[in-house]
Chain A
Amino acid sequence: MAKDNIRFRTIKDNIFKGLIVFLAFLSGIPLIIILYYITSKGISSINWQFLVNLPKPVGEIGGGISNAILGTLILIAISCILAVPLGIAVGIYLSETKKGKIAYIVRLCVEVLQGIPSIVIGIIAYVWVVIPMKSPSAFSGGIALAIMMLPVIVRSTEETLKLIPNHLREASLALGVPYFRTILKVILPAGLSGIITGILLGVARIAGETAPLLFTAFGSNFMNLNILKPMSSLPLLIFNYATSPYEEWIAFAWGASFVLVVLVLGLNIIAKLVAKKWKVQF
């Protein structure tokens, strides 16, 4: 009797393992499908013209997505300028202030910020920037994206600095180096790879964001370098074209999706490499 029971339990054990493996890899199927679709449908749209031309009205051939690519880059630049210094400063503050009510509240606020849905951030940027400026603009879009990028940078800075051993700080202080120079010239350089990884991951996250830009940067069909005017971006273009009824535009959307996925995944890979190669040994 006992022997039969063991056989039965062993079979259950194997079935379970098989089920787990099966389900785990099944989860990868959507990924493969998505990548396959984007690559196969997008590649055919990619050519030099596609990348450097402006969108043309429906029916005309030879349009491109250059304004969207440039717009994405400009928006990333604006939000980095706003979010990176502030994020690093808050990260330093949190890693240096272990106790205290204020640090606890700040940390809580960063966590709340991280969870705010992107569309709500879009509303906020609209009320705070677009309404006073009486017009959508790349600047307001940059602000929305900066708000989204902030928690990522704060978190990665804080985690990186926490890992730096205390005796490094003491070595610098014992040489008579004042506290602020110790942080700026010893601790921050030692944690640089982690901070840069955080920035890259933050950029990867906002590069693909659409919702905050719907009412802020708003999108445009023209090449625009003026950040006080509406600006296009890859995700906005994909959203508008994919939901349109025109075949050519949908094909463009696939092409733009391909470019966007390459950009986002590329940033993730670079972030991984930076974390590995530039890691400082203590």
Chain B
Amino acid sequence: MESSVLRVEDFCAYFGEHQVLKDVNVSISRNKVTAVMGPSGCGKTTLIRCVNRMHELTPNARVSGKMLLLDEDIYSTNPIVVRRKIGMVFQRPNPFPTMSIHENVISGYKLNGIKLKKSEQESIVEESLMKSGLWNEVKDSLHRKGTFLSGGQQQRLCIARALAMKPEIILLDEPTSALDPKATAHIEELITELEQYVTIIIVTHNTAQAARISDFTAFMYLGELIEFGPTEKLFTVPEDKRTEEYLTGKFG
């Protein structure tokens, strides 16, 4: 039985009076890739933004229910602490434009005022860039600003930036939707390699992508978690009729 790193219990989320997540219950396994898929507006992005407490940055946003990261209640802890333990990669690559590649990777430390010795910095930068598969391409230009990199490379830089904080979980919000097919393939390969280091939750609207890279899949529709299980099983013998209809393209 795989150990659970994140437990979501009876979780609801609202924007003002409008409810976007309804009684979600799920347990995410450690060192596995879990995909969250569903049609637009199903709440999948809201769900992961609740995990690292980014949802509450929107005015009028509120939540109810529990989320436990390794038995610690996420919503009783200071959000800053939570966000340091959970990394996020966004849809559009967003390296900090005023910082070099080196500075971008360790920006989680620098911006928080955590002082690192030069040797520690270099060690973290090299390790993170190697894990995200970018090291060989940028090792000679670490002190140039990251804006000259291609879209796919910038996204891998953002992944390295998240990895450098040694998070328990990395949340990926449709990380390849702004990238071309070749870059997408690279990132997908990377994700499957990364699961040995960290737990991954990836939101995607691309069912084929979910099938390719994830160990577990959650299917969401209209704010509810319809079905959750091992990817192979969910894709071949889905239990719920709506899952089957989504997978066969009857709606989406």
Q: In the complex, are the beta carbons of A282 and B97 less than 8 A apart? A: yes
**In the complex, chain B residues whose CB is within 8 Å of the CB of A189:** 98
Residues of B within 8 A of A172 (CB): 96, 107, 111
A182→B113 CA distance, assembly (Å): 12
Is A186 at the interface (CB under 8 A from chain B)?
A: yes
Closest to A172 in B: B111
Bound-complex Cα distance A175 to B112 (A): 9
Task: Report if B43 contacts A (CB, 8 A).
Answer: no
Interface residues on B, range: 20 to 34
Report the Cα distance A274→B92, complex, angstroms: 28
Taking CB atoms, residues of chain A closer than 8 Å to B87 are: 174-175
Interface residues of B in 174-200 (CB under 8 A from A): none
Q: Which of B52, B95, B110, B113 contacts A174 (CB 8 A)?
A: B52
Our pick among B57, B81, B107, B147 for the contact of A175 (Cβ within 8 Å) is: B107
| B124 interface residue (CB < 8 Å to A) | no
**Which of A165, A175, A192 has a CB less than 8 Å from the CB of B111?**
A175
Chain A residue total in the interface (Cβ 8 A): 22
A residues 170-222 in Cβ contact with B at 8 Å: 170-178, 181-182, 185-186, 189-190, 192
CA distance A177 to B54 in the complex (A): 12
- A11 interface contact, C-beta 8 A: no
Cβ-defined contact, A174 with B88, below 8 A = yes
The interface residues of chain B lying within 8 Å CB-to-CB of A14 are: none
A281 CB–B CB distance under 8 Å: yes
Interfacial residues of chain B within 81-105, with CB under 8 A of chain A in the complex: 81-85, 87-88, 90, 92, 94-98
B147 touches A185 (CB 8 A): no
Given known pairs A170-B54, A186-B111, the reply for A175 and B97 (CB within 8 Å) is no
B147 and chain A: residue at smallest CB distance: A281
A142 to B247, CA, bound (A): 70
**What is the CB-to-nearest-CB distance from A188 to chain B, in angstroms, rounded to a whole number?**
9
B88 touches A178 (CB 8 A): no
Cβ contact within 8 Å between A171 and B57: no
Partner of B54, one of A165, A174, A178, A186: A174
Interface residue? A263 (CB, 8 A): no
Check A280 for interface membership: any CB of B closer than 8 A: yes
For A173, give its contact among B83, B96, B158 (CB under 8 Å): B83
Given A172-B111, A186-B111, CB of A178 within 8 Å of CB of B92: no
Docked complex: B63-96 residues within 8 A CB-CB of A: 80-85, 87-88, 90, 92, 94-96
In contact, A176 and B81 (Cβ under 8 angstroms): yes
A168 at the interface (CB under 8 A from B): yes
| Partner of B90 from A171, A190, A282 at Cβ < 8 Å | A171
Cα–Cα, bound, A173→B112 (Å): 11
B221 to chain A, nearest CB (A): 26
- B161 interface residue, CB < 8 Å from A? yes
In the complex, the answer to whether B111 meets A177 with C-beta atoms within 8 Å is: yes
Chain A residues near B52: list those with CB within 8 A.
174
In the complex with contacts A175-B161, A181-B113, A170-B90 CB distance below 8 A: yes
Task: Determine how close the nearest CB of chain A comes to the CB of B105; give it in whole angstroms.
Answer: 11
In chain A, positions 201-252 with a C-beta closer than 8 Å to chain B are none
Enumerate chain B residues within 8 angstroms of A282, measured Cβ to Cβ.
Answer: 97
Q: A101 an interface residue at 8 Å Cβ cutoff?
A: no
Bound form: Cα–Cα A185–B113 in Å: 11
Cα–Cα distance between A182 and B52 once the two chains are bound (Å): 17
Quick one: given A175-B161, A177-B112, are A281 and B97 in contact (CB under 8 Å)?
A: yes
Task: Answer whether residue A167 sits at the interface, using C-beta atoms and an 8 A cutoff.
Answer: yes
Contacts of B97 in A (CB 8 A): 168, 190, 280-282
Rounded to whole angstroms, the CA-CA distance of A29 and B88 in the bound complex is: 59
With a cutoff of 8 Å between Cβ atoms, the chain B residues found around residue A185 in the complex are 110-111
A198: min CB distance to chain B, Å: 18
Question: B165 within 8 Å of A by Cβ?
Answer: yes
Q: How far is the CA of A185 from the CA of B108 in the complex (A)?
A: 12
Could you tell me the distance between the alpha carbons of A178 and B114 in the complex, rounded to whole angstroms? 13
Chain B residues with Cβ below 8 Å from A192 are: 98
B107: A residues at CB distance < 8 A: 172, 175
By a beta-carbon cutoff of 8 Å, the part of chain B in contact with chain A is: 52, 54, 57, 80-85, 87-88, 90, 92, 94-98, 107-108, 110-113, 147, 158, 161-162, 165
A to B CB contacts below 8 Å, 11 in the list: A167-B90, A167-B92, A170-B94, A171-B96, A172-B107, A176-B83, A176-B108, A185-B111, A189-B98, A281-B97, A281-B147
Q: A170-B57, A185-B111, A280-B98 known; 8 other A-B pairs, CB under 8 Å?
A: A171-B158, A174-B54, A175-B107, A176-B165, A190-B97, A190-B98, A192-B98, A280-B97
